[in-house]
Structure 1
Amino acid sequence: MPDYGRTLLFGAFLTPAAAPPHRAVELTVAAEAAGLDLASFQDHPYQPRFLDTWTLLSYAAARTERIMLATNVLNLPLRQPVLVARSAASLDLLSGGRFELGLGAGAFWDAIVAVGGQRLEPGEAVTGLAEAIRIIRGVWEASDRSPLRVDGRVHHVNGAKRGPAPAHDVGIWLGAYKPRMLRLTGETADGWVPTLGYLPGGPADLAALNARIDDAATAAGRDPAVVRRLLNFSGSFSAAGGGLLRGPPGQWAQELAQIALEHGISGFLLATDNTEDLDRFGQEVAPEVRELVAAARGGLRVGK
């Protein structure tokens, strides 16, 4: 799959652990100090070991100045779409335009039902996500004075007032793997954020998944490049190489540059709660990946 030419982003996928309570916020501050572009958090409202994601993001935004913040990804079945839209816009306004909205159709349905959520079949969950995107974007259209009405199969809005508008065009990024979700991503989303560990074939699996997104985008009259491709991944730093993303920073840089150029990934989110790893990723790996990709885009060899 070709390089889509997007500006590269480097970030962190942090655990929203409730104990100690300030740890996740301090990691966000550390990610910013390391020069990373983005800090993101998973959202599992049924999990008592985790902080509430919206509260954490708000606190982290107040403690930082530059770094972007994102949900990775928000548990939509337990979040009413109008309130998601207003929460996202509020955080974006308060943070000076530093928020991006990752959404998921839902998983761990027993846990969702246990806290009062509705169990949805896979097809219903995707339908609900598509309806929610329409509602969220409708709420953000604050200049439209007409009441918002969406009579969906899963979500219903009967004359909601619109607004507030976010400070910038908040991207909606989807966590997607299966055909219908990938099609929805291409048709309407601003970004795609899979996790490398969920791909049995590793980075090679990205080609087929990207192709589904591209085909759907083209069929919808969109340029496939408008969909930013991000990747959650884990790895370990060591003096000697021991496999993909297990070795010195230079090896990481070569491997991530290859993934960027061959599979169009333009956002790399390291899953770690280790401040030393965040610093090495931001200070050593990210600059070298940018140089390698820039050289390749300029027609020079990237290396192995």
Structure 2
Amino acid sequence: MPDYGHDLLFGASFVPSAQQADAVVALSQLAERAGLDLVTFQDHPYQPGFLDTWTLLSHLAAVTERIRLAGNVHPLPLRPPAMLAQAAASLDLLSHGRFELALGSGGFADAIASMGGPRLSAGQAVDALEEGIGIIRAAWDTGAPGDIAHRGEHYQVSAPRGPRPAHDIGIWLGAYKPRMLRLTGRLADGWLPSMPYLGSAAALGEGNAVIDEAAAEAGRSPRDVRRLLNLGEDLPADGLAELALTYGVSAFIAMLGDARALERFARETVPEVRELVAAERRRAASLTEASPTEVSTAEATRITSAPGDAMVEGAAPAPTPDDGVRLSEVRVWDESTRPTGPRPDPERRYTPVEQANGRHLVDVHDHLRGELARLRDLVEQVAAGAIDAGTARSHVNAMTMRQNNWTLGAYCASYCRLVTMHHTAEDAMLFPDLRRAEPGLAPVLDRLQEEHHAIHKVLERVDRALVAYVGDQAGLETLRAAVDLLTDSLLSHLSYEERELVEPLARHGA
């Protein structure tokens, strides 16, 4: 599951309303004062109620000092790439290196044509964008010999190079379909989709896979492409952290319409996301960068051939066994029908990095197990009246999935969302890679995906029980039964998944 290791950026996107021009500028200045990293604006010149985005960005460069500026995104067909390169470099020089160039192939063909732009098919627009990126980069490369000399299907350019930008401007692409995603992997510095258009977190994983493959084929590292995301809703900090750690998103751009929402995002959400991601990166680094001696010391009880055995250096990480305890009489599936994958070579030895690869799944599952235990405890304490909301909040604040305004329902919803996102990430990214690397695991992976769907139904049962309990506390036993069934199902599933996947993950990586 990729974390590409980029520094985190947090930005705001505002509607460039011509009727509220002063308010747009004021919000942008407030974003800078609040500590955000980036402010962006959609670029639709065919909307008469909008300010021209380039003019707005130029004005903001003069009335701000630190915050980065970008369109979101500029439709290339409306601006010749050689002229766009000069405009971008000029704005970057005037803003002292604060401009980034986000481009699109032009998603509104009729509107572009109505402004005098070329009418291109979707395929032609992607081809033109690829040509345009080459022209833009050539214009900025003032150290190259001679003038720009481009003779393409869509552009013919013979022009001097320059000016050179104040910094290496990133070219970010708004991309959704396979051809644009592959172009992003080959040539771009960033991928900038919008969550409402993607539709789900799983689509992020699918897009990442296409981009990463294209980058590798072009001789690039997937890390060369920053993953940015326009947010369509106000996600909590733990949700954003999960997107960063599971899907590699390192720049979050929130649609913010007023000062109060902006300040709350900057003051509450941003610091918490930074803290959660930094903590997980430190933990991961401590495993992958440790020497063999350090691994054997710090993970002495974990890197073993089987639970309870003496530590064996170089052995595969130990999966968590199923203790067989069941709290509910209901069974979500028949455990006796679970398939098993190929058995590993008992003589195989594992490097510290390989051990960390396999151990990572156990660590993620341990987090879910720990939070499940806390969830059960909180249900009982609040139901019994043993703790009030203030005391409960102090306990929740010590957890990784804490909420700013604690309620039992909010915490349970947070936990359910984390489990769902974890399973979605496995289905969209981890499992396809394992299928390719080890075809013999296919029956196991099919069964695990079936169990993911079954667990999601159990999570929905917990949701329904919570709603009923809030309205009528006589529903306590129904809530307890739902949480018991979740406990049985999830712990059984996690143990089965570790038994089958920890060793293959150690060999193939995650």
The normalised TM-score by structure 2 is 0.55
Q: Do the aligned partners of 2:194 and 2:232 also contact (CA within 8 Å) in 1? A: no
Unaligned regions of 5+ residues in structure 1, if any?
237-244, 246-251
Q: Do the aligned partners of 1:145 and 1:162 also contact (CA within 8 Å) in 2? A: no
Higher relative contact order at CA 8 Å, sep ≥6: structure 1 or structure 2?
A: 1
Q: Secondary structure at the match of 1:280?
A: helix
Hey, what does 2:56 align to over in structure 1? 56
Separation (CA, whole Å) in 2 of partners of 1:79 and 1:17? 21
Hey, what does 2:300 align to over in structure 1? none
**Aligned residue identity for 2:175:** A
**Residue 220 of structure 2 corresponds to residue 225 of structure 1:** no
Between Structure 1 and Structure 2, the one with more helix by share is: 2
Separation (CA, whole Å) in 2 of partners of 1:234 and 1:219? 32
Unaligned regions of 5+ residues in structure 2, if any?
285-366, 368-399, 402-417, 419-510
Q: Decide which of 211, 214, 228 is 1:213's aligned counterpart.
A: 211
Separation (CA, whole Å) in 2 of partners of 1:108 and 1:228? 26
Shift of 1:144: 2.6
**Aligned residue identity for 2:173:** L
RMSD over aligned Cα, in angstroms? 1.2
Shift of 1:282: 1.2
Hey, what does 1:291 align to over in structure 2? 275
**Aligned residue identity for 2:88:** A
Shift of 1:145: 4.3
Point out the more displaced range, 278-287 or 260-269: 278-287
Task: Show the 5 A alignment for 1:1-304.
Answer: 1-157=1-157, 159-200=158-199, 202-236=200-234, 245=235, 252-299=236-283, 302-303=400-401, 304=418
Between Structure 1 and Structure 2, the one with more strand by share is: 1
The one-character-per-residue Cα deviations of 1:208-234 (angstroms, maximum 9, x if unpaired) are: 110000000000000001100000013
**Aligned residue identity for 2:166:** A
The one-character-per-residue Cα deviations of 1:85-104 (angstroms, maximum 9, x if unpaired) are: 01100000000100000000
Point out the more displaced range, 141-150 or 113-122: 141-150
The one-character-per-residue Cα deviations of 1:142-200 (angstroms, maximum 9, x if unpaired) are: 2234010111111110x200000000000000000000000000001000000000022
Separation (CA, whole Å) in 2 of partners of 1:47 and 1:76? 16
Separation (CA, whole Å) in 1 of partners of 2:244 and 2:228? 10
**Aligned residue identity for 1:5:** G
Greater Rg over alpha carbons, structure: 2
**Aligned residue identity for 1:66:** R
Q: Do the aligned partners of 2:230 and 2:253 also contact (CA within 8 Å) in 1? A: yes
The normalised TM-score by structure 1 is 0.92
Separation (CA, whole Å) in 1 of partners of 2:214 and 2:94? 35
Q: Secondary structure at the match of 2:249?
A: coil
Hey, what does 2:426 align to over in structure 1? none
Q: Secondary structure at the match of 2:11?
A: strand
- Identity fraction in percent: 56
Separation (CA, whole Å) in 1 of partners of 2:246 and 2:205? 8
Separation (CA, whole Å) in 2 of partners of 1:84 and 1:104? 13
Separation (CA, whole Å) in 1 of partners of 2:265 and 2:153? 44
Report the count of equivalent residues. 288
The one-character-per-residue Cα deviations of 1:2-56 (angstroms, maximum 9, x if unpaired) are: 1111100000111111112222211110111111000011111111111111100
